[in-house]
Amino acid sequence: MAVKKDLSIDYLGVKCENPFFLSSSPVGGNYDMVRKAYEAGWGGVFFKTVGIFVADECSPRFDQTNKEGLPWLGFKNMEQISDKPTEKNFEFMRRLKEDYPEKIMVATIMGSNEQEWKDLAKMCEQAGADLIEGNFSCPQMTSHAMGSDVGSTPELVKLYSQAVSSTTKIPFIAKMTPNVTNMVLPARAALEGGAAGVSAINTVKSITNIDFENMTAMPVVNGKSSISGYSGAAVKPIALRFIAQMLQDEIVGKAPISGIGGIETWRDAVEFLLLGCRNLQVTTSIMQYGYRIVEDMISGVSHFMDERGYDKLDDFIGLALGNIIPAEELNRDFKILPQFDHKKCIGCGRCYVSCYDAAHQAIDWDEKKRRPNLNEECVGCHLCLNVCPVQGCITPGELTWKEGRKPVEIALKHNYE
Amino acid sequence: MSKVVKAKYTADAVDGFTPRTAMEEAARCLLCIDAPCSKGCPAGTDPGKFIRSIRFRNVKGAAETIRENNVLGGSCARVCPYDRLCEEYCSRCGIDKPIEIGKLQRFAVEQEKAHKMKILKAPAKKKAAKVACIGSGPASLACAAKLAQEGYQVTIFEAAEKAGGVLTYGITPARLPQHVVDFDIKAVKDLGVKFVFDTKVGEDITVEELKKSGFSAIFVGAGLWEAKVPEIPGNDLKGVTNAIDFLKSARDSKGSFDPGKRVIVIGGGDVAMDCATTAKLLGAENVMIYYRRTLEEAPANMAEIQYATSLGVTITTNFAPKEILGNGNVEFAVFKGRDGASEAKVAADTVVFAIGQAPEDMTKIAPVKVTDKGAIAANAKGKTNVVGLFAAGDIVNGGKTVVEAVAAGKEAAAEIISYLEKKEGVK
């Protein structure tokens, strides 16, 4: 009897069966795709962005980064908004909402001027969308009146948010671009313009690889390429950072945030929830693995809740946010020395190499026994723990206090995977 | 100098995965559509799904998939011939080598135990019908578990003093540690299945008595416990034994059993390999397997053959036993070549016949139809000629794998359920 928990959540006044949604992308671009996703267990969809503009796409348009044989660390795409006629897209959405009333339909739209935003908002209403998302953040649009160029200009974000919220009562979500230094500014602008919430992050402007055959970036389109959006596991840290900063803002932090960026597993999902997200969006890992990944998200989050005695998502949403503090407020009075389990140690010496070449030469290498020994130089940085290939071999050990500092009770991490 | 593995009798033959190494292995999985590995499992354990869960860091979900589909998931993970089942179907073979599915399954079950998970549940409200399962080996355990999950009241009658059948008495602990078997059996016990030990149905209690005491259906999963020993001169000498007795004595002794210095094992199946590795792990200096046919024709799993040879066991093929020589005790075994000309006279203190097992007399239990080999004649769903009596596992198929017995036990349970539902007054 598989453990099943109640994963339902209220997001912008809409009751969702779970927080797992497809993000606005190729994974939710027509009726059949979304139907299959619903049947796999996704709670809703941010339908592939619709504009008055119909995209003309290049080929090929994807690339990926990898490291040491592990593919898809990150993913680059040069795709724009939907290449289907506007009416057809709204027709898909209307039918999906009709056939699956329990599932949540978010219409993602992108206009190039105020009137287009208004017209699109109307069409969303007619299609029966539960929510509307404004795409202010696609970094590969061929028009500079749309996409991330808009999202990095707070005035435009506010103007277009106003255009939508003055046209319809359906809650409006502004999708943020990470190609800014401070996301709080456009997020505040969106809320000032009447947006009910924000979603973040869209893709990060990138060049993934340079091709030696054509002397251009990847993917190669007739010997040329462009800078375009990067997504997947590699961008999760960037997403979490922007989201934490927004949620810690006194104004933006009051609005519900939909988290996007490198979510593949239930753990990623829980991380976004622990920061305070109330909705989650996924594309890249679906592109790699398919809709079925939601099964393990649902199961994994259920087990996480079961272990900790949580009955609903609200029991743990936002629990980690308050523990992310400015660097100047961290307690810097102590160091935790690593301890080495010589029985578990396999004698590879990676800890020694890294510590000597990149830290504090705090490890002496016993050549005969092929074992590391800590010396006086250790500053407790834990680089060795991070390079050790053996689980549970190097662990946090003795805690020492710096000269003249006052010992207090310290919370530690004990278990490293 | 060949490097021969030296190991303890009770030590695991193969180390398991850590969470980190399990993830590394799961990352090699291609996550195929309509996973071929899942199609390759007779018991429907669904490796495609549980490996995907491991890969997506949902180990508890992986454990659920295994336990729900295969109540003996822990034991199967240790003894399945993957190279002929799931791993042979693995798409990764087209790139390099298959995913180590059995080892990932073992990891997930180990995690299930570590997290004290209780996956299977029986409904609180029991159905009125009671079912008796004869024997507590893989087929019976799988059948009982499925019935109990549906709310039926199940009692297992076992002739031996411990549950598990072949799992407990017929396999070397290096391959299948008792704690793994016990953990699987606990999952069955936790469903409310009752166990009655030291009770041989047909001798200590009759089927009629069972029926009188309220059992509306009987499942026979008796296994094969009659050792086959060829009719050759000298087969009664001291030191001549059979696989069942040899493995049971070794297992009961927990490693203090003396197998003799020079041990000859006759046979070419997994049981023969188990006898040979048992002898070697218990300290025999020279262990030799003799088999009447070629290695290609041998039924043993290649992994077990390789494990035996890694311990220094030799395998001589195309030689069949002709006679055993000795004076009270075994001194030599004489073999005749398949070519009709060769002969071998080999010194030995112990000769173990591992040439298969036969059914005990099943007609003592009930007037069932049996085959010429004494196996119960049942259809694929476990139905026999006796109304209300079902059978599956080795006692029907003549001795196959644990996983096939699990599959057959599950199948029979479904048939028993439909029989009981049709039977008047039993719901």
- For A47-87, how does the pLDDT look when each residue is reduced to its tens digit (9 = 90+)? 999 999 888 999 999 999 999 989 999 999 999 998 899 99
The predicted-structure confidence for B77-119, as pLDDT tens digits, reads as follows 999 999 889 999 999 999 999 999 999 999 999 999 999 999 9
Residue A300 contacts B where some CB pair is shorter than 8 Å: yes
In terms of CA atoms, which chain B residue is nearest residue A293? B56
Domains A9-323 and A331-401 equal at CATH topology level: no
Q: Is the pLDDT of residue B425 over 80?
A: no
What residue has token string 């995913």?
B99
* Contact check, Cβ <8 Å, A265/B58: yes
Q: What percent of chain A lies above the pLDDT cut of 90?
A: 93
The predicted-structure confidence for A253-269, as pLDDT tens digits, reads as follows 999 999 999 999 999 99
A417 vs B contacts (CB less than 8 Å): 19-20
Over range A146-166, report the average pLDDT: 91
- Give the DSSP letter string of A110-142: E-SSHHHHHHHHHHHHHHT-SEEEEE---TT-S
What is the structure's pLDDT at B424? 55
Rounded to a whole number, what is the distance in Å from the CA of B56 to chain A's nearest CA? 5
In terms of CA atoms, which chain A residue is nearest residue B123? A1
| Nearest-by-Cβ selection for B61 from A264, A267, A299 | A299
The pLDDT confidence band at residue B427, using thresholds 50, 70 and 90, is low
Find the Cα–Cα–Cα–Cα dihedral A282, A287, A289, A290, rounded to 10°: 80
* Contact check, Cβ <8 Å, A266/B57: yes
For residues A38 and A97, what is the distance between their CA atoms, to the nearest angstrom? 11
| Nearest-by-Cβ selection for A289 from B31, B57, B64 | B31
The chain-wide mean pLDDT, for chain A, equals 96
Over range A324-349, report the average pLDDT: 97
A3 vs B contacts (CB less than 8 Å): 60, 64
The pLDDT confidence band at residue B363, using thresholds 50, 70 and 90, is very high
The pLDDT confidence band at residue A150, using thresholds 50, 70 and 90, is confident
* Contact check, Cβ <8 Å, B58/A266: yes
Burial of A300 (0-12, 13-18, 19+ CB in 10 A): buried
At residue B418, the 3 state secondary structure works out as helix
The pTM of the full predicted model, rounded to 2 decimals, is 0.93
The chain-wide mean pLDDT, for chain B, equals 95
At residue B348, the 3 state secondary structure works out as coil
| Nearest-by-Cβ selection for B57 from A267, A290, A295 | A267
The predicted-structure confidence for B284-321, as pLDDT tens digits, reads as follows 999 999 999 999 999 998 989 999 999 999 999 999 99
| Nearest-by-Cβ selection for A296 from B58, B68, B119 | B58
In terms of CA atoms, which chain B residue is nearest residue A417? B20
Q: Is the pLDDT of residue A147 over 80?
A: no
Comparing A120-129, A260-269, B3-12, which segment has the lowest mean pLDDT? Answer: B3-12
What is the structure's pLDDT at A54? 86
Let me know: does A360 contact A353? Beta carbons within 8 Å: no
Catalytic residues of A: 138
Neighbouring C-alpha atoms within 13 Å toward the C-beta of A335: 12
Q: Is the pLDDT of residue A144 over 80?
A: no
Who's near A158: CB < 8 A, 6+ residues apart?
A189, A190, A192, A193
B64 vs A contacts (CB less than 8 Å): 2-3, 299
| Nearest-by-Cβ selection for A300 from B19, B20, B58 | B58
In terms of CA atoms, which chain B residue is nearest residue A301? B58
Comparing A242-256, A347-361, B412-426, which segment has the lowest mean pLDDT? Answer: B412-426
For residues A39 and A143, what is the distance between their CA atoms, to the nearest angstrom? 36
What is the structure's pLDDT at B256? 87
The predicted-structure confidence for B12-71, as pLDDT tens digits, reads as follows 988 999 999 999 999 999 999 999 999 999 999 999 999 999 999 999 999 999 999 999
Over range A317-346, report the average pLDDT: 97
In degrees, to the nearest 5, what angle opens at C-alpha A289 toward C-alphas A285 and A294?
A: 70
Q: How many CB atoms lie within 10 A of CB B343?
A: 10
Q: Is the pLDDT of residue B373 over 70?
A: yes
Over range A304-318, report the average pLDDT: 98
HEC assignment per residue over A331-381: CCCEEEEEEECCCCCCCCCHHHHHHHHHCCCCEEEECCCCEEEECCCCCCC
B31 vs A contacts (CB less than 8 Å): 289-290
Q: Is the pLDDT of residue B353 over 90?
A: yes
For residues A36 and A39, what is the distance between their CA atoms, to the nearest angstrom? 5
* Contact check, Cβ <8 Å, A300/B60: yes
Rounded to a whole number, what is the distance in Å from the CA of A387 to chain B's nearest CA? 13
Residue A293 contacts B where some CB pair is shorter than 8 Å: yes
* Contact check, Cβ <8 Å, B58/A70: no
* Contact check, Cβ <8 Å, A292/B64: no
The predicted-structure confidence for B225-252, as pLDDT tens digits, reads as follows 999 999 999 999 999 999 999 999 998 8
- Beta strands at A210-211 and A216-217: parallel, antiparallel or unpaired: antiparallel
What is the structure's pLDDT at B6? 86
Rounded to a whole number, what is the distance in Å from the CA of A351 to chain B's nearest CA? 18
Which A residues in the span 238-267 are in contact with B, Cβ-Cβ below 8 Å? 264-267
What is the structure's pLDDT at A148? 77
Q: Is the pLDDT of residue B357 over 90?
A: yes
Chain A contact probe: residue of B52, B58, B59, B107 with most A CBs at under 10 A: B58
| H or E stretch covering B390 | strand B389-391
What is the structure's pLDDT at B423? 82
Chain B residues near any Cβ of chain A (below 8 Å): 18-20, 27, 31, 52-53, 56-58, 60-61, 64, 68, 119-121
CA proximity to A367, closest of A386, A387, A352, A383:
A352
The predicted-structure confidence for A384-399, as pLDDT tens digits, reads as follows 999 999 999 999 999 9
Over range A32-51, report the average pLDDT: 97
The CATH topology of domain A331-401 is Alpha-Beta Plaits (3.30.70)
**A/B interface, count of CB pairs below 8 Å:** 50
Who's near B131: CB < 8 A, 6+ residues apart?
B144, B147, B152, B153, B154, B155, B215, B216, B217, B218, B219, B416, B420
* Contact check, Cβ <8 Å, B121/A1: yes
B123 vs A contacts (CB less than 8 Å): none
Chain A contact probe: residue of B56, B69, B112 with most A CBs at under 10 A: B56
Q: Is the pLDDT of residue A145 over 90?
A: no
The predicted-structure confidence for A198-237, as pLDDT tens digits, reads as follows 999 999 999 999 999 999 999 999 999 999 999 999 999 9
Who's near B179: CB < 8 A, 6+ residues apart?
none
Domain ranges of chain A: 9-323, 331-401
Q: What percent of chain B lies above the pLDDT cut of 90?
A: 92
Q: Is the pLDDT of residue A143 over 80?
A: no
The CATH topology of domain A9-323 is TIM Barrel (3.20.20)
| Nearest-by-Cβ selection for A264 from B20, B56, B68 | B56
* Contact check, Cβ <8 Å, B61/A303: yes
